[in-house]
Structure 1
Amino acid sequence: METEINSFIIYLHNVKKTSENTVLSYRRDLVKVKRYLEEQGIKDVRKITSTNLNSYILYLEKNKFSAATISRNIASLKAFYHYMYREGIVNTDAAEELHAPKIEKKMPEILSAQDVIKLLEQPVGDSPKEIRDKAMLELLYATGIRVSELTNLMVNDVNLQVGYILCRDGEKERVIPFGSEAKNALMRYLEKTRMDMISGGESEYLFVNCSGQPMSRQGFWKLLKYYAKKAGITADITPHTLRHCFAAHLVENGADLRSVQEMLGHSDISTTQIYANMNQNRIREVYARAHPRH
């Protein structure tokens, strides 16, 4: 099964131009299936039946994996088998009858505009770290990019004069504008601070840590938690929170969904629709509280 998984991964990279995060997720899921089946004495993909795959899904359910995790594993298996069947590696699609469990969609945690401003105003000092942190937080909220995209930005991806960044997700690119607050924070960071942090070395990455190495997702998560606590924000925020806030606040203030979809890099507008639904729910709540004859 190892050979077939490797071929599938190469196909995703070279033909489908799938994003790196999705490819890693597929590989991780398929390697787990492989291990499970090998423990059952099954090593040849041609001998795997739909019953074998169903038993794996039951194993995940029995071990209390979330519905979202199980659904992702099923999606990985379906994509893998669709590829193998099309390539003639297997004669039947053993994953065809797998059905994903229903997932209750949780509304993302959204901070109020006031709380976001409080968070962004926490790095106020003149230390290189605080100047960098301010630039990272401002840019993340200004553009709604993912933290992995933020940490992978190169200096050449930023156009300060016009006010936009070029963001890459696998082979796909999107251009996202940013406003004056993010521009000022970036200019302050780039003019002197970044070179001090690199301290004579070289790096193409926009954001670096105190050792001059590219900033990591974990490093950003730590600083986000630190500033959230400092701002007195009790909500359980994650690196994705500012992305959700960016989208929700844009929709709330009248931005059209297609534009928000494009900036977020969503392939399907139904993913973006959640922010419109949240806005409608909020309007209903305001109406119910305020209208004398509701």
Structure 2
Amino acid sequence: MLNELQSDLGAFRHYLRAERGMADNTVQAYGRDLERFARWCALVRYDGYTSPTLKDLARYLAFLHDEQLAVPSIARHLVSLKMFYRFLKLEEKADASAVDLLASPKLWERIPSVLPPNAVDELLKAPQPGDRFFLRDRAILETLYATGCRASEVVGLKVQDVYLDAAFLKCFGKGSKQRVVPLGRPAIAALRAYLADGRAAKPADGPESVFVSKSGRPLDRIFLWGLVKKYCQRAGLPATTSPHTLRHSFATHVLAGGADLRSVQEMLGHASISTTQHYTHVDRDRLKAIHKQFHPRGKPADGAA
């Protein structure tokens, strides 16, 4: 059976290159993830890979934890496996239920440092109209989850980099690399309300920061972490939840929905699968379409380009 698995993995790689037209770096990345799955199958003498159960997949997920992989890497391994099972389904070698199981919230919720979508909803609803900075705080939380941006990127946003009518924003990540990130309808609505009615005037000349204090001064990362902790406590979420948890959750939820790895890495501002990417000239229309399709809150506002 393990020889058959290796044969199927080889056929899958050929399928990605020949029929999906994927680049060698992408094919190799999927291949590395799936070789780890093959090693696990051999290690535990698992020969039922064509009809896995949720329990089987949870055992594999526990193995990935034991390998001490980072959360995004664990999510990527599950996405690679989902792609493989989609291929096996096309070849009539595996039941459609395997693909469904790999999209199951029960499986994805086992990944540490990731909030399930219903928990994210509770966090985003935590700021209340009676709060002093309700519009600002709601907009911050919506922006964190809608974009997957780092805390430093969110506090560094400038008004001129936010394009609400076109449903995207520009941010600067590590190494001052600029990238374009789509926005969905809830984030656009929250940002529009905040910028119209909830934002203090800037204290001095210069680029206007989006998120500011009551005196109009830019917020910093430490303040943002405290703000997330405050609303997590109100929503009854784990005390370990942080801005980075929302970034992990963004990536996990979009990947679980079926988005491809390359596009998610571009939205996150990571290096590409094998080579460093430059994000200044990202195809924003393509990323917006992917974001709209796969992000739980990705539908843009009516009339957004």
Give the alignment's TM-score, normalised by structure 1: 0.53
Q: Which residue of 2 aligns with 1:238?
A: 242
Report whether the alignment pairs 1:148 with 2:152: yes
Contact persistence 2:262–2:272 (CA under 8 A):
no
Deviations 1:184-237 (A, max 9, x none): 00010001211xx23775561010012211011111111110100100112511
CA contact (8 A) 1:119 1:231 kept: yes
Q: 1:192 to 1:200 in 2, by over 3 A?
A: farther
Aligned mates of 1:106, 1:164 — CA distance in 2: 28
Query: Quick one: which of 172, 191, 196 aligns to 2:196?
Result: 191
Aligned counterpart in structure 2 of residue 121 of structure 1, from 114, 120, 125 = 125
SS at match of 2:166: coil
Residue identity in the other structure for 2:149: I
Between the aligned partners of 1:200 and 1:128, the Cα distance in structure 2 is 20
Q: Distance between the aligned counterparts of 1:239 and 1:253, measured in 2? A: 21
Larger Rg, first or second structure (1 or 2): 1
Equivalent-residue separation in structure 2 for 1:176 and 1:134 (angstroms): 19
Asked whether 1:257 is paired with 2:261, we answer: yes
Alpha carbons 1:147, 1:240 under 8 Å: kept: yes
What whole-Å deviation, never above 9, does each CA across 1:16-45 have from its counterpart, x for those lacking one?
A: xxxxxxxxxxxxxxxxxxxxxxxxxxxxxx
In 1, Cα distance between equivalents of 2:158 and 2:118: 30
Aligned partner of residue 231 in structure 2, secondary structure: helix
The amino acid that maps onto 1:160 is L
Q: CA deviation at 1:173?
A: 1.2
TM-score by length of 2: 0.51
Name the structure 2 match of 1:162: 166
Matches within 5 A, 1:205-224: 205-224=209-228
Question: Equivalent residues in 2 for 1:175-186 (5 A)?
Answer: 175-186=180-191
Contact 2:114 2:249 in 1 (8 A): yes
Partner of 2:41: none
Residue 105 (structure 1) aligned with residue 56 (structure 2)? no
Q: CA deviation at 1:111?
A: 0.5
Moved over 4 A (4+): 199-203
CA deviation after TM superposition for structure 1 residue 177, in Å: 0.5
Contact 1:109 1:241 in 2 (8 A): yes
What SS does the aligned partner of 2:212 have?
Answer: coil
SS in 1 for 2:133: helix
Contact in 1 for aligned 2:170/2:179 (Cα 8 Å) = yes
Give the Cα separation in 2 of the matches to 1:122 and 1:263: 26
Structure 1 residue 267 corresponds to structure 2 residue 231:
no
Root-mean-square deviation (CA, aligned residues, Å) is 2.1
Instruction: Please show how residues 51-62 of structure 1 align to structure 2 within 5 Å.
Output: none
Judged with a 3 Å threshold, the aligned counterparts in structure 2 of structure 1 residues 184 and 210 are, in CA distance, closer, same or farther, namely same
Question: Could you tell me which amino acid in structure 2 is paired with residue 138 of structure 1?
Answer: E
Give the gaps of 5 or more residues in structure 1.
1-102, 272-294
- Provide closer, same or farther for how the CA distance between residues 199 and 168 of structure 1 changes in structure 2, counting only shifts above 3 A: closer
Deviation at 1:106, TM superposition (A): 4.5
Return the letter of the residue paired with 2:246.
L
1:105 CA drift (Å) = 2.8
In the alignment, is residue 172 of structure 1 matched against residue 177 of structure 2? yes
CA distance in 2 between counterparts of 1:199 and 1:262 reads 32
Higher relative contact order (CA closer than 8 Å, sequence separation 6+): 2
Q: Is 200-209 or 147-156 further displaced after alignment?
A: 200-209
Deviation of 1:168 (Å) = 1.4
SS at match of 1:176: strand
SS at match of 1:269: coil
